Amino acid sequence: MNQQNKIWINYLFVIGVMVLWGLNVVALKVLVAYMPPASMQTLRIMVAGAIIVIIMLCCNEWRKISRKELKHIAAASVFGVIGHHFFLALGLMSTSAVNTSLILALVPLTTSLLAMIILGDPVTKTRFLGVVLGFIGVGLLTIAGSGSQVSGLSSGDVLIFLSMFSQAVSFIYIKKATTTLHPRAMTGFMFLIGSAGLLLISLFMEPGGIAQVFKAPLFVWLIFFGSAVLATALGHQLFNSSIQKIGAGETAVFNNLVPFFGLISSAVLLKETVYPAQLTGFIFIVGGVLLGTGYVEQKWINYRRKAHQH
């Protein structure tokens, strides 16, 4: 198989993961309708974490971690697993899967913004414009379906925004930890620590919640394992391995497919209405991500460099 074919196969793998992640928002929307949210997320992350640990053991990647690595893993677990998944499940109980998909699309942009503030990444006019466009896109989500009046963000939208922000913060710590730690090991340790934290929250917030989860019908359990195994455990592994081969710079483009597939699956499977304001917001968010993450800027620099060489 030649190199070009291998690249296309990797592209197909990544697109497949984007489809899974888009569908996962719909899956979670169904799950929170039948299971207590915190308890459901606890078990879902435990299952995903167990699968990743098994993969780590099979690949001989389990090792002792340093104190510095543990600090970064713990911080990433608090924000990326406990905060992200807890707020996500709670938010989905009172907002649409469409809005959830669009708000979560801001993760790359928010991560880029935090990297500028915390890690000292350069702030350019293009990136700043991207940040502005992205948040204009979120502002458009507050416009009612008719487009004639502002309805305001619902409490569910606010919780999803907190979920998105928590995940963006976690990526800062993940970036620090993965300089010495394999991404799969990082994910495995995060899920183990995070699921323990979610368990404590669920026991406090939802006494008897774990028992209630097991009363869900069979089709809900099929969705549960599809979400835990395919989208969360295997999806992350496929994504990480493919991105290493096609380049991290492409991630901004592919991440934009998640809200796209989220919108389609929400409309088709949940019969949710996609309003013009939401579609306009989607366009602004996609443009914001491409500019704000530095993707467009880097492509332009590469183009100019090649032009000067010729």
Distance CA 181, CA 161 (A): 29
Distance CA 136, CA 72 (A): 32
Distance CA 244, CA 248 (A): 7
Q: Computed from CA positions of residues 101, 151, 268, 215, in that sequence, does the dihedral angle turn out positive or negative?
A: positive
Give the predicted TM-score (pTM) of the model: 0.85
pLDDT of residue 248: 55
| Token code pair at residue 161 | 């925004």
pLDDT of residue 88: 95
Within the chain, where are the H helices? 3-34, 37-58, 67-77, 84-92, 97-104, 107-114, 125-140, 155-177, 183-205, 209-213, 218-225, 235-246, 251-255, 257-269, 276-292, 295-309
pLDDT of residue 148: 42
Distance CA 269, CA 212 (A): 25
Tell me the CB-side half-sphere exposure of residue 286, using CA atoms within 13 A.
14
pLDDT of residue 85: 96
In tens digits, the chain (310 residues) has pLDDT values of: 666 677 778 778 888 988 999 999 999 999 999 999 999 999 999 999 999 999 989 988 888 888 998 999 999 999 999 999 999 999 999 988 988 998 888 888 888 888 888 878 787 888 888 888 888 887 787 664 444 444 556 788 899 999 999 998 998 888 888 888 888 888 899 999 999 999 999 999 999 999 999 999 999 999 999 999 999 999 888 877 776 676 655 665 677 788 889 889 999 999 988 888 888 888 888 888 888 877 777 778 777 777 777 6
What size, in residues, is the chain? 310
pLDDT of residue 8: 77
Question: What does the longest C-alpha to C-alpha distance in the chain come to?
Answer: 69
pLDDT of residue 145: 44
Three-class SS of residue 217? coil
- How do the domains of the chain map onto residue ranges? 3-309
Tell me the CB-side half-sphere exposure of residue 177, using CA atoms within 13 A.
28
Distance CA 32, CA 15 (A): 26
Distance CA 176, CA 160 (A): 25
pLDDT of residue 1: 61
Distance CA 21, CA 309 (A): 40
